[in-house]
Amino acid sequence: MDHNLATAEKNVLEELVKLVQLRGLRGEHGGWIDFLAVCNQKASTPSNLSMVSRDLLVAFLTTFKKKEDLKALQCRANSLLVEKLKQETPENYTPEKMLIRLTMKHPEFSSDYSFPSLSNDWFVSDIGMKSSTVMKSTDMIAVDCEMVLCDDGTEGLVRVGAVDRHLKVILDKYVKPGKPIVDYRTAITGVTSLDIENATLSVADIQRELQQYLSDGSILVGHSLNKDMRVLKIDHPKVIDTALVFKFSNARNSRKPSLNDLHKAICGKEVRKEGVSHDCVHDAAASMNIALAFIKKPFDTTVTPSKEMLEAEKSRLFIHRIPSYVPSEKLNIVLAGEFHSTKFKLDVKPGKTQGGNYCAVVVFDSTKEADQAFENVNGYKERDSFGLPQKLSTLKLSSGLSASCYVRKMV
C-alpha cells in the first residue's frame, strides 16, 4: 500500500485526502488537520490540496492501517481510473483501450459493474493507486465461472477457468461453495456432485490466485464478465466485456449476444454445440479470441449475423421467466410433454439475479418442427413488447407443483 501511494499520480492523492475529509476517517495521527498539527505543518500548509507537496499527502495517507479504510481508498482510486479511461482521447487509444472504453460507455455498464466492494469478503485491486506505467499495461487475462444454485437462493462458485493473452490456461480449479447446493445445473455447468466432493479451494483462494495478475495492471476479459466478478467477489477497474462491446445488427436494443453466436460470427467457429454443457476454460478462451480478433484488426462492433444464424433463429423457441424452483435438469422432460415432442436440444441460461427466474433456448431440427411445437403449447397467444409471438404456459412438475413461464418465437 505504502509503495503504491508513493507512485500514485498527484491528483489521485489529492482526491483520496478529500475522501478522508468527507468521510471523517482517522489514521494513526487522526484526520488531516490533526496530522498537520503533529507534523508542525498546520500553519505553513495551504488549504488548497493542489498546492500541497505530494510527499506530505503520501505521508498522511500512509497513516491509515485499518483494512476497511484502505479498501475505501482503493475503491475511490479505482473509480477515478474508470473516469480517466472513459475520457481518454482517440489519439491515446490502443485497441485494448478502445475495447475498455466501449465496455464502459455501454448504458448498462454502471449498473452491471456496481458491486458491494466494501464488504469484508471482497477483493479490490489496487491499480488505481499505482503508477501510470502499470495502469497502461495491455496484458490481459480472460476468466469464466460456473455457478450452482444454493439452498439460500444465492449462486455458489464451483469452477473457475482463466487463460492469458496467448490462450495458455493459467487457472482451472473446482471450488467448494461453503453452503448446501440444491441445483448443480449440470446441463449448463457440466459440474456434478462428484466434481465438488474433493474440492478444497474457497473463493478467497481463487482471489489470491488472480491477485498477482490484477495487481500488475492486467485487463480482465470476459463475456457478461460482471456475473463472474460478482461471484468471485472481485472489483477491478480495467475490464473488457465482449457482451457489452459487440452486438448483432438485428438484435433488439437490450439483447446481448450469446458468446457462442458472437464467437461463430467473428472467429468463424462455435464454442460448443447446442445443448452441450459449458466448459469455463473454453468460454474464457472464446472471449479472449474475440478481443484479440478486434485488437489485431479493429472492426465495426455492430456485427452482421450470417444467413445461417438468421435461419437458425427460426428453428428455436425461447423459454423465459422460468421459476428457480423448476430444476434445470428436469426441464427437458417437462417441455417434452408441453411440445408433444422430444426432438429438441436445450440450452439453459442462468438467471440474471441470484435466485431469480432463468431462461432457456430450445433448438429444433427445422423451422417446421419449432412452429409445430409452439402451436402445441397450451396457452393464450399474444405478442411481447417487440411484437414477437409468445404464449403463457403452465408447466406440470413431477412433484405435483405447477410453474408458469413464457414460450416465445425468436423471430
> Model confidence over 196-246: pLDDT tens digits?
988 999 999 999 999 999 988 999 999 999 999 999 999 999 999 999 999
Structural domain contains residue 24: yes
Structural domain contains residue 4: no
Q: Do residues 279 and 313 share a domain?
A: no
Is pLDDT of 65 > 90?
Answer: yes
Q: Which of 40-49, 281-290, 386-395 has the lowest mean pLDDT?
A: 40-49
Is pLDDT of 276 > 80?
Answer: no
Q: Which residue has the higher pLDDT, 322 or 47?
A: 322
Confidence of residue 2 (pLDDT cuts 50, 70, 90): low
Specify the pLDDT at position 140: 97
Residue 51 lies in domain: 10-65
pTM: 0.83
- Among 268, 303, 338, give the residue marking a domain's end: 303
Work out how many domains the chain is built from and give that number.
3
Which whole number is the average pLDDT over 311-326?
86
CATH code for the domain in which residue 322 is found: 3.30.70.330
Which whole number is the average pLDDT over 255-266?
90
End-to-end Cα separation, the chain, in angstroms: 54
Structural domain contains residue 71: no
CA dihedral 298, 304, 306, 310 (to 10 degrees): 150
Q: How far apart are CA 65 and CA 63, in angstroms?
A: 6
Specify the pLDDT at position 311: 80
Q: How far apart are CA 382 and CA 392, in angstroms?
A: 8
> Model confidence over 332-361: pLDDT tens digits?
777 888 888 878 888 877 665 555 788 888
Specify the pLDDT at position 387: 85
Q: Do residues 108 and 174 share a domain?
A: yes
Is pLDDT of 9 > 60?
Answer: yes
Q: Do residues 131 and 170 share a domain?
A: yes
Specify the pLDDT at position 12: 92
Q: Do residues 131 and 230 share a domain?
A: yes
Which whole number is the average pLDDT over 266-289?
87
Specify the pLDDT at position 1: 60
Structural domain contains residue 81: no
Specify the pLDDT at position 354: 53
Q: Do residues 112 and 39 share a domain?
A: no
Counting residues of the chain whose pLDDT is more than 90, the rounded percentage is 52
Report which listed range, 97-106, 340-349, 357-366, is most confident.
97-106
Q: How far apart are CA 352 and CA 109, in angstroms?
A: 15
Q: Which of 93-97, 203-207, 297-301 has the lowest mean pLDDT?
A: 93-97
Which whole number is the average pLDDT over 32-43?
86
Which whole number is the average pLDDT over 316-335?
82
Q: Do residues 163 and 230 share a domain?
A: yes
Q: Which of 287-291, 316-320, 350-354 has the lowest mean pLDDT?
A: 350-354
- Among 65, 91, 109, give the residue marking a domain's end: 65
Mean pLDDT of the residues in the chain? 88
Structural domain contains residue 215: yes
CATH code for the domain in which residue 272 is found: 3.30.420.10
Q: Which of 88-97, 212-221, 259-268, 296-305 has the lowest mean pLDDT?
A: 88-97
Q: Do residues 276 and 314 share a domain?
A: no
Q: Do residues 235 and 259 share a domain?
A: yes
Specify the pLDDT at position 85: 86
Q: Do residues 231 and 356 share a domain?
A: no
Specify the pLDDT at position 67: 92
Q: Do residues 61 and 203 share a domain?
A: no
Q: Do residues 210 and 330 share a domain?
A: no
Q: Do residues 342 and 261 share a domain?
A: no
Q: Output the nine-digit C-alpha cell for 172.
A: 482451472
Structural domain contains residue 75: no
Specify the pLDDT at position 25: 94
Structural domain contains residue 80: no
- Among 303, 321, 351, give the residue marking a domain's end: 303
Confidence of residue 113 (pLDDT cuts 50, 70, 90): very high
Structural domain contains residue 136: yes
